[in-house]
Amino acid sequence: MPTFRAPRGTRDLLPPERAVFGRLEAVARDLSRRYGYREMETPLFEQAAVFERGIGEMTDVIEKELFRLVPRSEEGEVWALRPEATAGIVRGYVQHGMHTWPQPVKVSLIGPMFRYDRPQAGRYRQFWQWDVEAIGDPGPAIDAELIELGARFYREAGLDDVLLLLNSIGDTECRPAYVAELAAYFREHAVQLPDLERRRLETNPLRLLDSKDPSLAALQARAPRIVDRLCPACAEHFGAVRSHLDTLGIAYRLEPALVRGLDYYTRTAFEYYREGAEGQQQALGGGGRYDGLVQLLGGQPTPGIGFALGLDRVALNLQSSGLAEGQRPPLAVIVGAEPAATAERLKLATALRAEGLPVRADLSRRKLGRQLEGAARDGAHFAVIVAEGSENGALQLKDLQAGTQRPLAAVDLARELRRAESSHRHG
């Protein structure tokens, strides 16, 4: 048994899995560019109050999952590892006066988040998200654009069976009356509530709809629905969001119990699931509108909407479906008839890499046959054989898949490999 291991709830992303993550990140960054969302970064830790105030002190994230850091005595501040990206992005929006920028400010972030959660399949204490935010536009068109962007990410990542769940959770005009009605309903069944949910009934009844406790499923199903109690402005906004999604051809299912797990959400709320896996532990990602969060963190009243999509969950689903594509093999491996002539092989590989070609040099001192076996195991299309005494530039280009081999001048090698790479033809 090894002496040291990764902490419980974390794991090492070994090269094959990291390659899958890299491809997902590339899809996310390309979509961010195409949709006009500029990338930004926030610190991995913030003042704990940023999350406590923004997310809500009675949420699972703050009550049970926040990684608080013990500061040095001279610092005085209490910090926490970021459990999600929105609060930190909004803090940055306020701190840097981004309200003076052209609105909406559209940003994206890819990186690790941290929650002290119970480890299980697809749920880790360090996990990766693609986060997208549009701050400064009240919608509803921006809501539809963002929701469609999330749906497109899953399609381009390789998941074609992702289901969109949609709801509206109202705003400060209509939600208070609904929350009071919801609390009255659950008080009638207080004896059936677990201790934690009974406490939440008095502090934040909306959280009972978001509870993951299976004993509440029947009560949740019969609870009053906020979508039936929206004020005219919220109902109009929700209807317009749905109309825009219909125009875009985005299928969705109305889910009255969907409230999301964080306090800052208002109006539009949505989540993505794979068909047939709509349980509370199976969400691939989700988001919603947060029109009061900027003001809550010290800014002027400013609307906003965003989502966070879990890369871990997507990678897991791709792998379980046999759809995960790892890192591409090298186009060619440089091998040598003279085992000791490693400098010559390295020089040739370096020149090809400078041309932008993905090649590997076999720098072992193995015989040529073993070098060729290694190139085949790598999945390379070609082996470039540096012959003994080939100072005149004569090489052999071996197509490992076709089983053919032919001489090639060194000056023509880069052009030939580039042609093969672009056309997917062998030499």
Q: Distance between CA 180 and CA 168 in Å, rounded? A: 17
**pTM higher than the cut 0.75:** yes
Cβ neighbours of residue 156 closer than 8 Å, sequence gap 6 or more: 27, 31
Mean per-residue pLDDT over the chain, rounded: 88
- pLDDT at residue 196 in the model: 78
DSSP lists the bridge partners of residue 46 as 80
Give the pLDDT band of residue 281 (cuts 50, 70, 90). Answer: low
Q: Distance between CA 268 and CA 144 in Å, rounded? A: 10
Buried b (16+ CB within 10 A) or exposed e, 335-356: bbeebebbebbeebbeebeeee
pLDDT cut 70: percent of the chain above it: 92
Q: Distance between CA 359 and CA 332 in Å, rounded? A: 5
- pLDDT at residue 329 in the model: 87
Using DSSP bridges, classify how beta strands 304-310 and 105-114 pair: parallel, antiparallel or unpaired: unpaired
- pLDDT at residue 58 in the model: 58
Q: Distance between CA 92 and CA 131 in Å, rounded? A: 14
The continuous run of DSSP H or E covering 377 comes out as helix 368-377
Mean pLDDT, residues 211-228 taken together: 85
Torsion angle of C-alpha atoms 254, 257, 261, 264, degrees rounded to 10 = 70
DSSP lists the bridge partners of residue 128 as 112
Q: Distance between CA 55 and CA 52 in Å, rounded? A: 6
70-92 pLDDT per residue, tens: 776 666 788 999 999 999 999 99
Q: Is the pLDDT of residue 426 over 50?
A: no
Higher model confidence: residue 248 or residue 282?
Answer: 248
DSSP lists the bridge partners of residue 255 as none
- pLDDT at residue 80 in the model: 92
Q: Are 345 and 356 in contact (CB under 8 A)?
A: no
Q: 80-94, 145-159, 188-202, 284-298: lowest mean pLDDT where?
A: 188-202
The continuous run of DSSP H or E covering 45 comes out as strand 45-47
Task: Count CB atoms within 10 A of the CB of residue 422.
Answer: 8
Q: Are 165 and 278 in contact (CB under 8 A)?
A: yes
Q: 44-48, 272-276, 293-297, 310-314: lowest mean pLDDT where?
A: 272-276
Q: Which domains does the chain have, with CATH numbers?
A: 15-174+230-320 (3.30.930.10), 332-423 (3.40.50.800)
Q: Which of 172, 147, 153, 140 is nearest to 237 (CA)?
A: 140
- pLDDT at residue 75 in the model: 66
Alpha helices (H) along 213-367: 217-222, 232-248, 293-296, 311-320, 342-354
Mean pLDDT, residues 102-120 taken together: 91
- pLDDT at residue 278 in the model: 56
- pLDDT at residue 275 in the model: 81
Q: Which of 83, 87, 47, 86 is nearest to 64 (CA)?
A: 83
- Per the structure block, which two tokens stand in for 25? 């990140």
6-62 pLDDT per residue, tens: 999 999 999 889 999 999 999 999 999 999 999 999 999 999 889 888 776 656 666
